[in-house]
Structure 1
Amino acid sequence: METTTHTQSLLSHLTCSNCGSSHSAFEPQLTSTCCQLPLEAQYNVYEPISKNALLRRPATMWRYREMLPVLCDENIVTLGEGFTPVLPLHNLGTKYNLKQLQLKDEGQNPTGSFKARGLSMAISKAKEFGVEGCIIPTAGNAGVAMAAYCARAGMRAVVVMPRHTPNAFKEECYWYGAEVHLVDGLINDCAAKAKELNADNSLLDVSTLKEPYRLEGKKTMGYEIAEQYGWSLPEVILYPAGGGTGLIGIWKAFREMQAMGWLSEDIKLPRMIAVQAANCQPLVETFLGHQPNSKNYTGKPTIANGLAVPRPIGEQMMLRVIRESRGTAVSVTEDEMLQGLRELSASEGLFVAPEGAAIWMAARQLLKTNNIAPDANILLLNTGSGQKYMENIAGKYR
């Protein structure tokens, strides 16, 4: 057994994110058969679940067991992911006259990023369905996480990543025993290569939102935020959105907690701010009306590897979250990310991923334009450790 919980999942079915049609949650699924778009897990939330039960549970993402899709505890594949700290940024708050500025540091997860959550869940469900191997196109962190959890589960792992990915990501995958394929281009090119390598469908493709369960791991960030805020919520959450699973998942968690009564009716949900790299900003372009969608968007590499996602399958889901939350989508340049890295490191002792630096600089940008008030309760979501990105940023600290 890899967990001490013995509660039952309340998983009931899956629904198409586009048309809402129902699909079985008790057989393997990828995207919806109706619209070929992401599926979302649904739960019997009318069954009473007490928040007090959490007090006796381990400080991992699996504490929210009833609202997670793994049916049998013996299928859980865990490395202790989740319940990352929310840290006050007093020094930067004082410098910029911000009353309530905090950062949730996902870089403290196993494998060094928030991807541990989604891949722990996806590999657990793959194990439950008897899958023997998985394949993933990745910008870096997701491939590392899949390789680690496949190693833990005794499964074959095939990772397809851009050739320009920093060596730290490649090396870690090799150490976990993964088969690594390097591709010229961005993650969409890796996805095409993964499809070619898996032409016989012998491997489960756990690409972003191509199966329903990475989303369920990522949503636990939303549950943790509510619990760490004493069942209240910040007013604004800034999130680095490449594939967008985390942005979508956090919002999904808030909606589920509303349905369960874990969030009182008078609690206002946060404005969700999606942050992208100026080098690859398909969501921003669509949100601003510069294109109907990102299907023909062409992006460029960025030091924030996880933001180099030019054609996200979850684009409409991300746009829905932004609109429902009265949020927005903004982009940050490469130089701004480096500036953000310097500030967070030198002022707060936090060496974040460039994606995490991007959200801080986006916050500064929105403060200047009065899109965020200085007295707002602001939460930044850093998605990973900066240590793996040294090859991208070495020598650029001046």
Structure 2
Amino acid sequence: MPDLVCSDCGTIYPVESLIWLCSCGGMLDVVAFDTTVDAAALPGRAPSLWRYAEALPIAADPTITLGEGLSPLVPARALPHVQLKLDFLLPTLSFKDRGAVVLATLAKQLRVESAMVDSSGNAGTAMAAYFSRAGIDCTVYVPESTSPGKLAQMRAHGATVELVPGSRADTSAAALRAAGQPGVLYASHVYHPYFLHGVKTYGYEIWEQRGRSLPETVVVPVGNGTMLLGCYLAFSELVAAGLAEWMPRIVAVQASACAPLEQAMAQGLDSPVTLDGSATIAEGIAIAAPPRGRQILAAVRATGGTIVSVTDRQTAAARQELADEGLFVEPTSAVCFAAVRAAVDQTFDSASRTSAAAESLLTAESVVVPLCGAGLKSPTSTTRYS
């Protein structure tokens, strides 16, 4: 299993150490390893994310996997240039299963007996499920405002749920204070880089499902940036291996009530702006201070993409439009469709410094949009906005 390396100072840590942050304060990545997938062997492999075994830092454990991955890629009825990837159909109803199964598999191999994680909901439900399958106790720190459906999922899988008063940032702070206990894995979807390598299979699937080609634009919701950074990993690896001809432009979407990355992109900054963040129906991306913010901004710029924001009104309307197509998703999943709709209808905020660039990218000939979480996770957010 590949070790971990600090993105700032280059210090290498054994993966067995359970380290989740460098002593210098830098974020950890997985040390470089050969990720070239045997494309010729793919047709004979199981229909799950584990079909890209060469690109993953750990081998599948048949006692833990639930066959996650290879979610459908379907055309959008209302927007012919858009394909929708239905990750809300994964076992715990969100894309976070991709990273959770990798971390749970790692924890079992390392003989970890207890794990902890902080989450706005979906990562917590995914970790609770997969750590339960691995036979490992799991504690999940979540904001007390977390949707009841997500809390019910976590508890159903046997996780200990710690409700934290205040914002998502308060929850992260509480988890960080509790992290570092001897023998306990901080299975953070933000800090532990093995999670990102599970998520990157989303990008590999897009490539394979589109006839081994990548679209012009990939749109992703961004809070902590795990899907975005996973996509960037996948696309970089595919291009480096000669399996894809180009790097898709990544357009990241934030909620306008909490958009530190969009504001940084607009101002040409290398780090997210500092803000408190307001409440938004897109709870999964309400991250005021993303720890991997510098990496997110660098990745988006490297692809020639940009970052935009949408209002709760636009998000709710997009959620309803998707429901009319038979796709019931949570608000966080609707923000990307809302951004494409705004580009098509030319209804972006005219004062936004990033919307002009986004409009051309979001109306390109081929655009892929993820639907990351099921609507049943947030069933009360169904208001129709006039």
Taking structure 1 as the reference length, what is the TM-score of the superposition? 0.88
Give the letter aligned to residue 110 of structure 1: P
1:66 counterpart = 2:43:
no
Separation (CA, whole Å) in 2 of partners of 1:113 and 1:74: 20
Displacement after TM superposition at 1:150 (Å): 1.1
CA apart distance, 1:382? 1.4
Structure 1 residues 275 and 201: CA distance shift in structure 2, 3 A: farther
Aligned ranges for residues 351-390 of structure 1 at < 5 Å? 351-367=328-344, 368=346, 369=356, 370-372=359-361, 374-390=363-379
Distance 1:74 1:377, change over 3 A: closer
Q: 1:78 aligns with which of 55, 65, 77?
A: 65
Count how many residue pairs are aligned between Structure 1 and Structure 2: 374
Give the superposition deviation at 1:290: 7.9
Q: Are 1:137 and 1:187, in contact at CA under 8 Å, matched by a contact in 2? A: no
- Other-structure match for 2:292: 314
Where do 1:186-201 residues align within 5 Å? Answer: 186-198=167-179, 200-201=181-182
**What SS does the aligned partner of 1:231 have?**
coil
After superposition, where does 1:251-262 map in structure 2 within 5 Å? 251-262=232-243
**1 CA distance for matches of 2:292 and 2:280?**
20
Q: Give me the identity figure in percent.
A: 34
What residue number does 1:38 align with? Answer: 28
Q: Deviations over 1:164-204 (max 9, x none)?
A: 11110111111111111111222221122223344634421
1:3 equivalent in structure 2:
none
Relative to structure 1, is the Cα distance of residues 219 and 182 closer, same or farther in structure 2, using a 3 angstrom cutoff? same
TM-score (norm 2): 0.90
Q: Do the aligned residues in 2 keep the contact of 1:107 with 1:113 (CA within 8 Å)? A: yes
Matches of 1:104 and 1:64 in 2, distance apart? 18
The 8 Å contact of residues 27 and 129 in structure 1, kept in 2 or not, is answered as: no
Distance in 1 separating the partners of 2:361 and 2:61: 45
Q: CA RMSD in A?
A: 2.2
What SS does structure 2 have at the residue aligned with 1:226?
A: helix
Assess if the C-alpha contact under 8 Å between 1:136 and 1:206 holds in 2: yes
Match of 2:320 in 1: 342
- C-alpha distance 374-86 of structure 1, shift in aligned 2 (>3 A): same
Q: Measure, in 1, the Cα distance between the counterparts of 2:236 and 2:364.
A: 25
> Does the 8 Å CA contact 2:340/2:363 hold for their aligned counterparts?
no
Going from structure 1 to structure 2, the CA distance change for 1:131 and 1:151 (only over 3 Å counts) comes to: same
Paired residues for 1:1-398 under 5 Å: 12-25=2-15, 27-45=17-35, 49-71=37-59, 73-74=60-61, 77-89=64-76, 91-93=77-79, 98=80, 100-198=81-179, 200-263=181-244, 267-289=245-267, 293-294=271-272, 296-346=274-324, 348-367=325-344, 368=346, 369=356, 370-372=359-361, 374-391=363-380, 393-396=381-384
**Which contiguous aligned blocks of 4+ residues in structure 1 show a shift greater than 6 angstroms?**
none
Aligned counterparts of 2:133 and 2:385: Cα–Cα separation in 1: 37
Q: Is the 8 A contact 2:149 2:378 kept in 1?
A: yes
Partners of 2:145 and 2:368 lie apart in 1 by 31
Once residues 161 and 26 of structure 1 are traced to their aligned partners in structure 2, the CA distance between those partners, rounded to angstroms, is: 27
Contact 1:116 1:145 (8 Å CA) reproduced:
yes
- Evaluate the alpha carbon distance shift between residue 145 and residue 257 of structure 1 in structure 2; reply closer, same or farther with a 3 A threshold: same
